[in-house]
Structure 1
Amino acid sequence: MSSKIAIVTGASSGIGKATAERLAHAGYRVYGTSRRGGVMGSRPFSMLPLDVTSDASVEALVEELLRQHGHIDLLVNNAGFGVAPAGAEEVSIEQARSIFETNYFGLVRMTSAVVPHMRSQGSGRIINISSVLGFLPAPYMAHYAATKHAVEGYSESLDHELRTRGIRVSLIEPAYTNTQFDSNALEADTPLDEYRAVRVGLSKLVRKLVEAGDKPEVVADVVLEAVSAANPKIRYTAGKLAHRLRLARRFAPAALLDMGIRRDLLLDTFTRAGKI
């Protein structure tokens, strides 16, 4: 295990940092990335600068690690950003493109860079950090949910393509996770008065849910489980809430699930408040 090379994108904090630490303690030589990079410090892994929206940046990173080590064994695609609650029509096309450029195309760009090398060595693992919003609707976070739905479809399809070549792809689906993810969330660039009450109310609610959410280490443990499995699953939920939501999506009647989403997010309450 000590000779296996892992890349973890978005590793400066939160899920990425916890995952990089967990993999390093399991024996991987881990390279975490972020836009600014960073010094190793007390971390058990190295930090490198990377912009997943840049072909040149991605190619340079992969080429340098291959020059140093000759192989890449694991890629964990975690880099991405959230979107503050807002109506779908409050997000411009340009802003929607920017969300997809990082959360979806950045993941595809990294994957496309490492797959040829994994294919030539006949082995490799790719772990994509998704979300329960990859299989559930997310009212007032429609564009973010759309990126995670796209990641899910891409990952499952890719796993079928690559498994006969010794490469497996798995998705990790957390629910609310206690990180700084929401503090850096992108605000809608064309806000409308009609949605103001829902925006404000839902933002406060989501902040509380995130603060009460699972620790990043819960997700990191599931990543290690997926990486270590001889026959990995395509999907792994992370945390009790994510597991319950996956079961509800699979077995609950659609009308009941629909009602539960509106109730838990207080959508009708916030909407009525905006009309008073």
Structure 2
Amino acid sequence: MFNDKVIVITGASSGIGEATAHLLAQKGFRVFAGARRAPTSPPVPNLEFGVLDVTNDASVENFINWVLREAGRIDVLINNAGVSLVGPVEKTSIKEAQGLFDTNVFGPFRLMRAVLPTMREAGQGLIINISSVLGFLPAPFMGVYASSKHALEGLSESLDHEVREFNVRVVLVEPSFTKTNLDTNSAQVSEGFGAYESQVSATLKAVIAQIKSAPAPISVARKILSVITGPYKMREPADGTAKLLSRLRRFMPAGAVDRSLRKSFGLRT
């Protein structure tokens, strides 16, 4: 059993976050799980929940200070909290885009700033940012979500160069579609789809079909466990589909990738 690391994970009340928190606790890690609302399920050994809103500076500071008081250090930070949004870019309001970025980009940004001083002082640390295949691929009608993951990937790679000298590393875990509420119950833009209605409907139908055969959150949790316990690698596709898409993006001609993406999202090629 692994029991020598203190782990912080955000967005831990459901989906990938919940599965990961429970798996790591079962393996003997001491896990501090943050969520907007603490779960009502029975207590789990090695797993402690705290209220955390990643969009609120004071909430992040209070949560990290609580962990440091309780455990004295933080060895691993897992930035998992995220939200999604479906709709055409043209129909997405600035407020909706800002709200998504506040969770998906500035949320991890706040957490990383909060934990880095203690990691630097300790001379070791690992930050795992949960990205997506949409961190390196486009996604029609999920453009703001995809752009937030592209931003997270650029931030993560840049930060890794900055903190490497202090024996702190940053990893990107990149799942494909996963059977979670994030993928099945994504919010939609409030203005409606307008002229894009038929295209969005086709895309949603194609995406739902892919989600039906998608891996469960535990598969991503197992990947995160292997990242913590295994050798370092900057990018970690979380499943077979993600690994294939990563290779296709790198090695296939751009035109072929474009046609394949349009087909997979239910759009005319």
Q: Per the shorter chain, which TM-score range?
A: over 0.9
Q: 2: distance between equivalents of 1:137 and 1:155? A: 19
- After superposition, where does 1:66-105 map in structure 2 within 5 Å? 66-84=68-86, 86-105=87-106
In the other structure, the counterpart of 2:146 is 145
> Which consecutive residues of structure 1, in runs of 5 or more, have no partner in the other structure?
270-276
Q: 2: distance between equivalents of 1:121 and 1:39? A: 34
Q: Deviations over 1:205-240 (max 9, x none)?
A: 2122112101111111111111112x4111000111
TM-score normalised by the chain length of structure 1: 0.93
Q: 1: distance between equivalents of 2:49 and 2:184? A: 22
In the other structure, the counterpart of 1:46 is 48
Give the % identical residues: 43
Q: 2: distance between equivalents of 1:71 and 1:206? A: 41
TM-score normalised by the chain length of structure 2: 0.95
Q: How many Å apart are 1:67 and its aligned residue?
A: 1.2
Please state whether the residue corresponding to 1:7 is helix, strand or coil. Answer: strand
- After superposition, where does 1:128-167 map in structure 2 within 5 Å? 128-167=129-168
Q: How many Å apart are 1:25 and its aligned residue?
A: 2.0
- Asked if the contact 2:177/2:183 (under 8 Å) is kept, the reply is no
In the other structure, the counterpart of 2:59 is 57
Q: 2: distance between equivalents of 1:99 and 1:268? A: 28
CA RMSD of aligned residues (A): 1.4
Q: 1: distance between equivalents of 2:222 and 2:70? A: 28
Q: How many Å apart are 1:197 and its aligned residue?
A: 1.2
Q: How many Å apart are 1:204 and its aligned residue?
A: 2.5
**Which shows bigger deviation, 31-40 or 163-172?**
31-40
- Asked if the contact 1:38/1:49 (under 8 Å) is kept, the reply is no
**Which shows bigger deviation, 243-252 or 40-49?**
40-49
Q: Deviations over 1:119-165 (max 9, x none)?
A: 01111111000000000011111000000000100111111111110
Q: How many Å apart are 1:42 and its aligned residue?
A: 4.9
- After superposition, where does 1:108-123 map in structure 2 within 5 Å? 108-123=109-124
Q: 2: distance between equivalents of 1:196 and 1:188? A: 12
In the other structure, the counterpart of 1:274 is none
- Asked if the contact 1:39/1:47 (under 8 Å) is kept, the reply is no
Q: Partner letter of residue 17 of structure 2? A: G
Q: 1: distance between equivalents of 2:19 and 2:142? A: 25
In the other structure, the counterpart of 1:220 is 221
- Asked if the contact 2:132/2:149 (under 8 Å) is kept, the reply is yes
1:177 matches 2:175: no
Q: 1: distance between equivalents of 2:43 and 2:210? A: 30
Please state whether the residue corresponding to 1:268 is helix, strand or coil. Answer: coil
Q: 2: distance between equivalents of 1:266 and 1:184? A: 19
Q: How many Å apart are 1:183 and its aligned residue?
A: 4.1
- Asked if the contact 1:40/1:47 (under 8 Å) is kept, the reply is no
1:260 matches 2:260: yes
> Which consecutive residues of structure 2, in runs of 5 or more, have no partner in the other structure?
none
